[in-house]
Every structure is written in structure tokens, then in C-alpha cells.
Chain A
């Protein structure tokens, strides 16, 4: 079965710093989702990457998909306290009935 490993597991940064979160798959990626979770607020969809080499940005968050490396990275520029939360990557499985498998999340703390 496919597994996604996220690194780091947790991250504490000072406001204004840049940071990167990685998501590595044990199998070929057929797309990659990034979500953000804050306590009691559910999963907020950030972006979905479909093709190798694809890069998307939303405000100060940029995500890339490297199909060859079976990896995606999420980069936050000039972090703010509002970026704090748990970031989850998810990938659609191959074959059969589709579902998303998720990494275990990266907890981001941004200190003012």
C-alpha cells in the first residue's frame, strides 16, 4: 500500500522566516493534495498538483511536485502566525477504487 512520509514532523519558526515541508511517497504519485488543519476547523484545501514539475502558489504558499523523486514540497515565504497549523499531504491511490492516503502531518508553529 502507498505511504506518504512528511518531514519534518514539527517545525517552529520565527515570524518572517521562510520554511519548507516535504512529502515523499513510497509509490508513483498521480497527483498530490495539500491541506491545512487548525484545531476545530477541519481540513482547508490549499492546492492540488497534478503533473510532474507543476508548481502552484496561493498567497505566500508555493507547492511543487517532483514526479521522478515521488515528492512534493510546500514552501511558505515570510511566515506569519496565521500560517500556524498542521499541514497534511494527501495522494490519490493507484488502481481500483480511488481514495486519498495521507501523511502524518507537519505541525507548524510561528512565533511572533
Chain B
């Protein structure tokens, strides 16, 4: 069974559209994250949630809205997509402290805005 799974794996859409990416983890972790990897492969955090509560919001445009219906799911909704949103988006999960436990990532969603 996949520990952290994201859907879809690939997403091609036009500018101005609204799209969602879903993430689910079956590890029993209480913290989930969204990371963005740009064209230069640099990975940077966007959001983190702990038990459905938003913990980190790293100056991400308001067009990005994460939603956590329960602690096993963290979805990312993006409004009015722009060309610059093209990237690979990774979901991850961990137990609360990253200093003492492992963090696992999903396979990524490659978003292409045309």
C-alpha cells in the first residue's frame, strides 16, 4: 500500500482555470505538508497542517487554499491558475516532530499551465 498518495499524477490545464490536487496518507501521521518544486528542482514548503489545523503558510498567494477534512487528507485547491504555477507539487506527512521521526513524500503532481 502506498503510504502517501497524490492524485492526479499529471495535470495540464489552461490559465484561469481552477484545479484541485488530493493527498491521502495511511501512516497515522498527524502532520501533513504541501511542497512546491520549481523548474530548477528547488523544493520549498507551502503549507503544513497538524490535526486539521493550519500551522505553516509560507507567503503563498491567496489563490492557493489547502483543505484538510481529516488528519489523513490534505487537499490543495488552486484558483485562477497562472503560467508561473507550473511546477511539481508534493504532499508529505510526518509525526509532529521532524527532529525525531521520518517524513514521507508522495509521488508528486506535475502541474502544467498553458
Contact = CB atoms under 8 A, between A and B. Distances in A.
Classify the interface of chain A: helix, strand, loop or mixed.
Answer: strand
B98 A43 contact: no
Interface residues of B, number: 28
Classify the interface of chain B: helix, strand, loop or mixed.
Answer: loop
Contact of B98 (A40, A98, A102, A104): A98
B105 A33 contact: no
B43 A48 contact: no
21 contacts: A30-B99, A31-B99, A35-B105, A40-B107, A40-B110, A42-B107, A42-B108, A43-B90, A43-B92, A43-B105, A45-B105, A88-B43, A90-B103, A92-B97, A92-B99, A97-B48, A97-B56, A99-B56, A100-B45, A102-B43, A104-B42
Interface of B: 9, 33, 40-45, 48, 55-56, 58, 90, 92, 96-108, 110
Given A42-B90, A100-B92, 4 more contacts: A48-B101, A92-B97, A99-B48, A104-B41
